[in-house]
Structure 1
Amino acid sequence: MEKSKVYFTNLRATAKLNLLQKLERLVKQAGIEQIDFKDKFTAIKIHFGEPGNLAFLRPNYAKVIAEVIKNLGGKVFLTDCNTLYVGRRKDALEHLDAAYENGYNPFTTGCQIIIGDGLKGTDEAYVPVPCGEYIKEAKIGRAVMDADIVVSLTHFKGHELTGFGGALKNIGMGCGSRAGKMEMHSDGKPGVKSKVCVGCGVCAKNCAHNAITLVENKATIDHTQCVGCGRCIGTCHFNAIVAAWDESNDVLNKKIAEYTWAILNDRPHFHISLVIDVAPFCDCHAENDLPIIPDIGMFASFDPVALDMACADMANQAPIISGSYLAEQLTNQAANCGERDHFGTTHPETNWMVCVDHAEKIGIGRKAYELIEI
């Protein structure tokens, strides 16, 4: 079987060729111009970064990709879906404020920003997943599914639940609506933090399935009635309703792969990953730790599975930065840990290979790749 092609460029720059020009050259060499963008709505899936975190991708990179697509006739927009956890991106208004605060706006990126699952994270499309082992119907942000073409622009970094956050996680988890994110992280049924609940009853009024009642002035959710739509999380002004976060990491990784299949199936897609500022934790954190390895470079491919493998392989060949979280973990585990890769050492309870293995199994792409350096 033919290997997937992954294109790579390092981060060396000259007065005649800066990094933004190298990124443009990379995606063109990787074949992005083969896609017919003419008058097609094109979603660039990106993480805008939680304010306080400085490791997220600068908007300059997004502008390069947006301009390439616009020059090919595409109708391009940047997108991400609302978060499940409490933070600055849990509804569309706060999400846009956070994006603007981090430098993402139509003037810096050359295109509009659309929050994929709407104001409260409930604007979703239901996508059948016939190949799914765990997911039979994915819940995807409607704006993402309305797009004709999907391009992912990913900051490759560590992640406490999946080992690393690459293209598959950026797409699969990132494009899930609030209900979709709940489905990946748990059985899809939220709970109530009774100490925080003030008994206002707004959640009960907004529940279409009569699953929420007030008992002694506290909200209670009947899981036999709850369908996991996530509307109660979006309507609670006191952050009293939360997801369970109880799914095993291996199952979470498989669900992410199945959501990725739902998003990419039957439409053109292209993927870019930047292995820079490789912090040990997700950009959803309101802080970023010291990178665990030096910056590597920029990668592009039509195959997100091969892309994640290439990024992981090159990251694992890189030296560990002294004083980083990874260096500390390596020291702590030295006495009782066998040989592990950088991301397995950083987060010993994770196994990132589960996601790429499952993604290959269900036909998203191939792990075997040919690395082409330009």
Structure 2
Amino acid sequence: MPSKVYFTNMRATPELNLLQKLEKLMKSAGIGEIDFKKQFTAIKIHLGEPGNIAYLRPNFSKVVADVIKELGGKPFLTDSNTLYVGRRKDALEHLDAAYENGYNPFCTGCQVIIADGLKGTDEALILVEGGEYVKEAKIGRAIADADIIISLSHFKGHELTGFGGAVKNLGMGSGSRAGKMEMHSEGKPSISEEKCIGCGRCARNCAQRAISIKAGKASIDHEKCVGCGRCISACPFDAVMPDWDGSNDVLNKKMAEYAKAVIFGKPNFHICLVIDVSPFCDCHVENDAAVTPDIGFFASFDPVALDQACADAVMKAPAISGTYLTDQLHENGADPDHFHAMHPTTKWQVMLEHAEKLGMGTRKYELIEV
């Protein structure tokens, strides 16, 4: 049976603005069927790397939070620390970035909690039923502790996964730093001798005693290393680097398995906003020009059907001239798949096929316009 995906376009009137349309969409899609009464509700969102302005405006998250509160729930916005070097790699910098981007209780009507704690090590281990690559997902504890999961995603291109939507927001976005390393890599971290000053913080945070200081530089014994990622978060000089050696297809499958760990056994509901469709992730400090016109808002109880519907809508949309998409089409030739045209080494279908295989949902959908 196809899943129901609800859609509303970007047209607005004085009687019905975009924020009101988002509220109407959520209620039409059936969010009220969830029993929110006194339930801690995680609104999983990407808070945006400062410098990037394609991330979702906090106004949208306030609509979601207000609906949840109206239904008796206790909402909070949440994201996990990043693995890459940037301004969201620990909770203090992450909160500073969130506030700078407008994500504070005065704008959103609820608190922001960094799910995996101060250094990205506060995680819960969750079994992945049917997981082929991940047996135990390392999920940010605040997300793992939530009673209900709501994903609010900015749908856009992504250089490693083709696009970023609900499944990526849930999977990659909910993993602790060690979880993110597990998804991205089959290997162990390494040391940049150029950046390392031999301070020993990484060694002091290694429970496996796999790190030693030799000739004023840190060294990792990969025989002892278990790939937990704690040394990455411990280093204040970004000298400990993950080994980005996993294939994009495997990354997509691991991400789906992590997403299943997040929502399995819990009420969940998903929203994607297909606006400001930038070619790259909101983790970039820049967002580049939108590659298609804004399309609208989508919502569903099925994150797989939701991502498929959003992908289909983007691929049907015309490419905007003078963007990264048209640059790639001019260089490489026509391609009906906008995401593959922008990022030829990716195959986003792998993620949805694997999520469907895991029982997270179906790629078949019925689109219902609100």
TM-score normalized with structure 2 length: 0.99
* Residue 218 in structure 1 maps to residue 214 in structure 2: no
Structure 1 residue 275: deviation in Å?
0.2
1:144–1:175 CA contact under 8 A, matched in 2: yes
Equivalent position to 1:355, from 351, 358, 366 = 351
Where has structure 1 moved over 2 Å in runs of 4 or more? none
In 2, the alpha carbon distance for the partners of 1:235 and 1:253 equals 27
Q: Aligned residues, how many? A: 370
2:315–2:336 CA contact under 8 A, matched in 1: no
In 2, the alpha carbon distance for the partners of 1:29 and 1:225 equals 53
For residues 17-71 of structure 1, the C-alpha deviation after alignment (integer angstroms, 9 at most, x for no partner) is: 0000000000000000000000000000000100000000000000000000001
Matched with 1:262 is 261
In 1, the alpha carbon distance for the partners of 2:91 and 2:307 equals 29
Matched with 2:181 is 182
Matched with 2:275 is 276
What SS does the corresponding residue of 1:174 show, helix, strand or coil?
helix
* Residue 366 in structure 1 maps to residue 365 in structure 2: no
Matched with 1:87 is 86
In 2, the alpha carbon distance for the partners of 1:74 and 1:94 equals 28
2:257–2:355 CA contact under 8 A, matched in 1: yes
Q: How does 1:197-216 map to 2 (within 5 A)?
A: 197-216=196-215
Give, as a single letter, the amino acid of the residue that structure 2 aligns with 1:268: P
In 2, the alpha carbon distance for the partners of 1:252 and 1:74 equals 34
For residues 94-113 of structure 1, the C-alpha deviation after alignment (integer angstroms, 9 at most, x for no partner) is: 00000000000011000000
The two structures, once aligned, show a CA RMSD in angstroms of 0.8
Structure 1 residue 215: deviation in Å?
1.6
2:82–2:88 CA contact under 8 A, matched in 1: yes
Matched with 2:342 is 346
What SS does the corresponding residue of 2:93 show, helix, strand or coil?
helix
Identity level (%) = 69
What SS does the corresponding residue of 1:8 show, helix, strand or coil?
strand
For residues 247-267 of structure 1, the C-alpha deviation after alignment (integer angstroms, 9 at most, x for no partner) is: 100000000000011111001
In 2, the alpha carbon distance for the partners of 1:19 and 1:75 equals 24
In 1, the alpha carbon distance for the partners of 2:366 and 2:290 equals 27
In 1, the alpha carbon distance for the partners of 2:221 and 2:306 equals 42
Give, as a single letter, the amino acid of the residue that structure 2 aligns with 1:119: L
1:274–1:298 CA contact under 8 A, matched in 2: yes
Give, as a single letter, the amino acid of the residue that structure 2 aligns with 1:18: N
Matched with 2:284 is 285
What SS does the corresponding residue of 1:36 show, helix, strand or coil?
coil
In 2, the alpha carbon distance for the partners of 1:368 and 1:278 equals 23
In 2, the alpha carbon distance for the partners of 1:201 and 1:41 equals 39
Structure 1 residue 130: deviation in Å?
2.8
Matched with 2:295 is 296
In 2, the alpha carbon distance for the partners of 1:265 and 1:325 equals 37
Structure 1 residue 296: deviation in Å?
0.3
Q: How does 1:238-257 map to 2 (within 5 A)?
A: 238-257=237-256
- Unaligned 5+ runs, structure 2: none
1:82–1:91 CA contact under 8 A, matched in 2: yes
2:319–2:325 CA contact under 8 A, matched in 1: yes
In 2, the alpha carbon distance for the partners of 1:46 and 1:223 equals 34
Matched with 1:127 is 126
Structure 1 residue 278: deviation in Å?
0.3
Distance 1:188 1:59, change over 3 A: farther
Give, as a single letter, the amino acid of the residue that structure 2 aligns with 1:249: N
TM-score normalized with structure 1 length: 0.98
For residues 193-215 of structure 1, the C-alpha deviation after alignment (integer angstroms, 9 at most, x for no partner) is: 11100011111111111010112
In 1, the alpha carbon distance for the partners of 2:360 and 2:220 equals 37
- Unaligned 5+ runs, structure 1: none
2:275–2:293 CA contact under 8 A, matched in 1: yes
Structure 1 residue 188: deviation in Å?
5.1
Structure 1 residue 92: deviation in Å?
0.2
1:179–1:188 CA contact under 8 A, matched in 2: no
Matched with 1:113 is 112
In 2, the alpha carbon distance for the partners of 1:164 and 1:312 equals 8
Matched with 2:151 is 152
